[in-house]
Copies of this chain bind each other. A is one copy, B any other.
Amino acid sequence: MEGLSSLYVSIVVVAVAALVYAKYAASKISAYELGNERVKELSSIIQSGAMAFLYREYKALSGFVVVVAAVLAFYRGMPTAACFVGGALCSALTGYAGMKVATKANGKTSFAATKGMNEALGIAFKGGSVVGMTVVGVGLMGVFIAYMAFGNVASGDVETIAAFGFGASSIALFARVGGGIYTKAADVGADLVGKIEAGIPEDDPRNPAVIADNVGDNVGDIAGMGADLFESYVNAILAAMAVGFVAYKGQSLELQELQMKSVVYPMLLSAVGIISALLGTFFVKVKEGGDPQKALSRGLYTTGILMAAGTFFLTKWMFGGVEMFWAVVAGVACGVIIGQITEIYTSADYASVKEIAGASVTGTATNILAGISVGMKSTVAPVLFICAATLIGYWAGGTYGAERSISYWGGGMYGVACAAVGMLSITGMVLSVDAYGPISDNAGGIAEMAGLPEEVRGITDRLDAVGNTTAAVGKGLAIGSAALTALALFVSYASTTGLDKIDIMDAKVIVGLFIGGVLPFIFSALSIQAVSRAAERMIEEVRRQFREIPGIMDGTARPQYEKCVDISTAAAMKEMVLPGMMAVIVPLVVGKILGAAALGGLLGGSIVTGVMMAIFMSNAGGAWDNAKKYIESGQHGGKGSAPHAAAVNGDTVGDPFKDTAGPSLNILIKLMTVVSLVMAPWFPLK
């Protein structure tokens, strides 16, 4: 194909541009003068806690990476092992960079808030955009390098570069599970003993778990979310490349060129997304007294529109027809719509959350039942939109392919895969907005702990509230892309094994379907129990400090923050092992014993129940959280009333749902599929 090298150059240029932007934003944050010693100290305590966690996590995971790499080298060759290590390293790198900047931006945001809303928004959003741009820049660059080095298209060896995604996925799963356990143990410990038993306000420096709680926000929402979207991002691209490669296989010169284009197109889509996001960041500005919500939405929608326009021209130029454009737009729309649906079920502006708040009046049991019902109901609409995006992508890609004598099925599945890439192409902007949330949250905590004036906290609270709303889009992407990417990976798996069908009338496939279906349940149970156990230890420690250290309550003695940080860290390290290993080992065992088709059934079953359970738990948790906040805003008796107590119980139940089990499932289903893809030739066909 002519002009291929210029396309390659443009991919590299765009990826580098994202990284340059990230570096520039980070240096801006570094250069910002922090004129308050107490804020500086608190920020650095949080930073050292967060970095200590990352360090211990990566140290533990390096063992895992080495072992898996050795196994891969043995069974699948050195290139596969190299890709795996590369994916893991890139994921760790983005986690490290994001965490470093975010924990620097938090204190500076609270200090900036003493000067005004716009200045604070600027710092917080810059911090977020470092996370966002690092993820997409490293992601695209990593995929490109893996592709150039090992993506030997001629040999049809798609599972080698898929190992890059495997590396990213495994780090992401551990980061999500570990981060989720860390943050919820700290949160529950700080709330239950501090707020309820000792009666001190949130983020009060007298609370021994307050630092762990603030570290937890970073560990969960920066490192966890970043690794999550990094994994989605690279896997969507890799899956689409793999499906395109398989679908457009053929002897004719025309087909060979189309195949090449189909492999490169997903990377170009991502490049268009990055450019759109870079341009979009310029729209996130607010005048003093203006609405930060509008600024963020403006940035997001500008990015979406630029992405759509860019895709249109790219598609027309590359493929002649615009069918694939519709597939991509279906993906983008699906992600945004699921975000809106998430909002409808979890925001206090809508009926569901109010219903839960109302049910709190008759007690905890009715609050719980109402929350569970809302969570279950909330699965329907997202699933239908995922189905719609799948069918549109399938129709678009199938029609295009069929016109070029490609099987309708092959072209169609390529369309589905491109819908996933489209959905994730705006990750740069979405994650910037998403990461901005915990930075503002932390800034508020620091303002509180440092005793900054009331109005500072007012500004950070407002920034934080805005972040929460806009973050719904991030959740939408995480859910929608998990389903579509898992499907695309699943198709690559099936094509790579050489199975001509995965027939659910076959007894072994049925058995696989059942085993796969049960995995999200056991996985959720394990992570919920892990949070409970860790929270219990945290509760005991906080109680012990209040009891044994005199002077904590009157502020004359400093609590032992480090002890609490240690408990969260140790618990996260220990408890992430079992669910993480399960995700890697079960597919291998089932595939080896029952064969490739049964493993296909397992993946299908786990994707179906995994998606349902992820939506159910994330939304139930979000709805409980906001029902509590709604009551705290003065409804049904407000803070301290019996309904409030019921709602606090609901929120506590929802915490591990929404921040540990739910989001981890999104990664679980992809990790299991990508493991199977990488090891595909290892499984017997009969």
Using CB atoms and an 8 Å cutoff, list the residues of chain A in contact with chain B: 359, 362-366, 368-370, 372-374, 376-377, 379-380, 383-384, 386-387, 390-391, 394, 409, 412-413, 416, 483, 487, 490-491, 494, 499, 501-511, 513-518, 521-522, 524-525, 528-529, 531-532, 536, 539, 600-601, 604-605, 608-609, 611-612, 616, 648-650, 652-653, 656
The 15 sampled A-B contact pairs (Cβ below 8 Å) are: A362-B539, A369-B528, A373-B529, A380-B518, A387-B514, A390-B507, A390-B510, A391-B507, A490-B505, A499-B505, A503-B503, A503-B504, A510-B604, A513-B604, A517-B611
Say how far A344's CB is from chain B's closest CB, in angstroms: 15
Q: How far is the CB of A372 from chain B (nearest CB, A)?
A: 7
* Also in contact, A359 and B532, with CB within 8 A (given A413-B507, A504-B600): yes
Among B379, B494, B514, B604, contact of A386 (Cβ-Cβ < 8 Å): B514
> Chain B contacts of A370 at CB under 8 A?
529, 532
How many copies are assembled? 2
Minimum CB–CB distance from A142 to chain B (whole Å) comes to: 28
Docked Cα-Cα span, A373 to B525, in Å, equals 4
Q: Which 4 A-B pairs have the closest CB atoms?
A: A365-B652, A376-B525, A394-B507, A517-B608
CA distance A413 to B487 in the complex (A): 28
Chain B residues, CB < 8 A from A499: 505
Q: From A412, which residue of chain B is reached at the shortest CB distance?
A: B507
Cβ contact within 8 Å between A505 and B513 = no
Answer whether A380 and B522 are a contact pair too, CB < 8 Å, given A373-B528, A373-B529: yes
For the complex, what is the distance from the CA of A513 to the CA of B513, rounded to whole Å? 11
Q: A336 → chain B, closest Cβ, in Å?
A: 19
Q: Is there contact, CB below 8 Å, between A517 and B390?
A: no
B612 near A504: Cβ-Cβ < 8 Å: no
Complex CA distance for A414 and B127, rounded to whole angstroms: 62
Complex CA distance for A372 and B525, rounded to whole angstroms: 7
Question: With A and B bound together, what is the CA distance between A499 and B604 in angstroms?
Answer: 20
| Contacting pair B506 A503 (CB below 8 A) | no
Q: Closest Cβ of chain B: how far from A399's Cβ, in Å?
A: 13
By a CB distance below 8 angstroms, the chain B residues around A609 are 517, 608-609, 612
Q: Which residues of B contact A648 (CB under 8 A)?
A: 365
A164-B90 Cα distance, complex, nearest whole Å = 60
A373 to B526, CA, bound (A): 7
Residues of B within 8 A of A409 (CB): 505-507
